[in-house]
Chain A
Amino acid sequence: MTAKVRIAFDNVSVRFPTTGGSMQVVDDVSYRVHDREFVSVIGPSGCGKTTMMNIVAGFMQPSSGTVMLDGKPIAGPGPDRGVIFQEYGIFPWLTVKENIAFGLNLRANRVGAAEREEICQRYMRLMGLADFAGAWPRMLSGGMRQRLALARAYAVKPQFLLMDEPFGALDAQTRSAMQDLLLHVLAEEGKTVMLITHSVEEAVYLSNRIIVMTARPTRIREIIEVPFAYPRTDALHKTAEFGELRAHVRDLVMQEYAQQARQRSTAST
């Protein structure tokens, strides 16, 4: 791939201090995410995937190795990297529209009133929230909260989108609709995306590349190129190629889950 490297992990390891010393979570991980690439990171739960996202988001530093963003070290969180958290973090004291406008009212990305209004309207329309501009978040369904989190992140025009299990709490139908919406929005405004997920189906359907991680301490098991062209539609799910790739990724992930289960049982005996 000739595209520019945007995110670069080089020999990254992370250890957390514990009562009895330290626990290694990430072990010597190196990979690159290129411009406008959609990369999914998949692996057993609790393996350290979220830790890797938190480093890129700027919430923590690796214990050793480096993570560079456009060739520069990461100084902390910033509006260039939109983050979608597992629990969304919708501000409950603001209406739907005020949530979207939150970032636009900050000094880091302040815009004029007219432009703010335009951006809010645009994303409310795109995310199907136009009828709920004045609604309180507690009235929204899970899927709507998810769309609101995406709209809020998009409003400040991030170049990166970092998503941690964003669809985990949704039912199967909503989840599938959200995946299609995400692809649609990305087709309109390309971003460099890093998605943390458990779902093989989701990773294969959405990504350019899938990074399969091992059980903890997590290493890269395999990096898989996904050859399907965008725009992708639901019909892709039913093709034989999709099925084969999904089966391959599932095998890898299941082996790592089994490995993790073995580790747990030896640790407990």
Chain B
Amino acid sequence: MLKDWKSTVWRAALILAPWLLLLAGWYAIHYSGLINPALVPTPHEVAVRFAELMRGRLPLDILMSTQRVFIGVLCGIVLAVPVGFVLGWYRNIRTFIDPLINFFRALPPIALIPLVIVYFGVDEIAKTVILFYASFFAGVIVMYEGISQISPIYVRVARTLGARDGEIFRKVIIPLAVPHMLTALRVALGVAWATLVASELIAAQQGLGALIQNAGSFFQLDIIYVGIICIGFIALFMDLGLRALGRRFVSWQERIA
């Protein structure tokens, strides 16, 4: 009992330690004078600004950004899963499509913004298109790499037990694909958050990217930090949520969570 309690405390301390170290480093930089302290707001100043903004525009910014990421990733993954699956499963199709995928994947979403503005305007749809683009290509690669590494032995075993094509798809291929779908979703979410600020460069009024952009033009460093930290934490919590989901659905996998 006591041992359990002790190990819980020890675990919590281990999880907190790197964060505390980060905070300490931040204070150290501020007070060391290596950089002009006016250019590095202290953590507590940022915290105060965070509390203040939470009573103002921040909740809406968070909502807008999360919503954009969510819709962009949803659209991207809904398309990436079947496309990635087909590319992974049918080797001969992959040979032809693979260079195309890699061509588009290499293009940074920011470089596409001027074109997106031309074709989709500056409304919500334009931001979604950018996020969709980013999450689709991230997701499709993870998905097809994963699927193409599935060993054909399972399909052969199922056939010798009498499985027909439909049964093989439902009972063998789907269970093997689920972990790759979850990984694709995780990677796509990460990429989408990374692309968010770029997508909100397109004349956004609300959103964490817009908050950072606006604060940048007025040299409000503390607000920039608030925005950045918010993006980081939301992405972190989403990833933790997905991993918890993953543990439920693919508990058979050997994975240190």
A142 CB within 8 Å of chain B: no
A112 CB within 8 Å of chain B: no
Interface of chain A, main secondary structure: loop
Q: List 30 A-B contacts (CB under 8 A).
A: A57-B160, A59-B156, A76-B159, A77-B156, A77-B159, A77-B160, A81-B160, A83-B157, A83-B160, A85-B156, A85-B157, A89-B151, A89-B153, A89-B157, A91-B154, A91-B157, A91-B175, A93-B175, A93-B176, A93-B250, A94-B175, A94-B252, A102-B171, A103-B161, A105-B171, A106-B161, A106-B162, A106-B164, A107-B167, A109-B162
Which residue in B156, B162, B252 is a CB contact (below 8 Å) of A156?
B162
Whether the Cβ atoms of A138 and B164 lie closer than 8 Å is no
Contacts of B250 in A (CB 8 A): 93
A44 CB within 8 Å of chain B: no
Residue of B158, B252, B254 ringed by the most chain A CB atoms within 10 A = B252
B172 CB within 8 Å of chain A: yes
Tell me the B220-257 residues at the A interface (CB within 8 Å).
250-254
Whether the Cβ atoms of B253 and A92 lie closer than 8 Å is yes
Contacts of A103 in B (CB 8 A): 161-162
Contacts of B122 in A (CB 8 A): none
Tell me the A116-164 residues at the B interface (CB within 8 Å).
136-138, 152-153, 156
Chain A residues in the interface with B (C-beta under 8 A): 57-59, 76-79, 81-83, 85, 87, 89, 91-94, 102-103, 105-109, 136-138, 152-153, 156
Contacts of A153 in B (CB 8 A): 160-161
B86 CB within 8 Å of chain A: no
Which residue in B161, B172, B175 is a CB contact (below 8 Å) of A79?
B161
B163 CB within 8 Å of chain A: yes
- Complex CA gap A83/B154 in Å reads 12
Measured CB to CB, the closest approach of chain A to B245, in angstroms, equals 16
Chain B residues in the interface with A (C-beta under 8 A): 151, 153-154, 156-164, 167, 171-172, 175-176, 250-254
Beta-carbon nearest neighbor of B161 in chain A: A103
- Complex CA gap A106/B172 in Å reads 12
Contacts of B158 in A (CB 8 A): 102
Whether the Cβ atoms of A85 and B153 lie closer than 8 Å is yes
Contacts of B251 in A (CB 8 A): 136
Beta-carbon nearest neighbor of A57 in chain B: B160
How many A-B residue pairs have C-beta atoms within 8 angstroms? Tell me: 71
Beta-carbon nearest neighbor of A152 in chain B: B161
Contacts of B156 in A (CB 8 A): 59, 77, 83, 85, 89
Contacts of B171 in A (CB 8 A): 102, 105-106
Measured CB to CB, the closest approach of chain A to B147, in angstroms, equals 15
Contacts of B163 in A (CB 8 A): 106, 108
- Complex CA gap A85/B152 in Å reads 12
Measured CB to CB, the closest approach of chain B to A149, in angstroms, equals 8
Measured CB to CB, the closest approach of chain B to A145, in angstroms, equals 12
Contacts of B151 in A (CB 8 A): 87, 89
Measured CB to CB, the closest approach of chain B to A159, in angstroms, equals 13
- Complex CA gap A82/B158 in Å reads 11
Whether the Cβ atoms of B252 and A93 lie closer than 8 Å is yes
- Complex CA gap A136/B247 in Å reads 14
Beta-carbon nearest neighbor of B254 in chain A: A138
- Complex CA gap A105/B164 in Å reads 12
- Complex CA gap A86/B43 in Å reads 60
Beta-carbon nearest neighbor of B168 in chain A: A106
Contacts of A107 in B (CB 8 A): 162, 164, 167
Whether the Cβ atoms of A79 and B160 lie closer than 8 Å is yes
Measured CB to CB, the closest approach of chain B to A5, in angstroms, equals 22
Contacts of B175 in A (CB 8 A): 91, 93-94
- Complex CA gap A138/B256 in Å reads 14
Whether the Cβ atoms of A108 and B160 lie closer than 8 Å is no
Contacts of A105 in B (CB 8 A): 171
Contacts of B172 in A (CB 8 A): 91
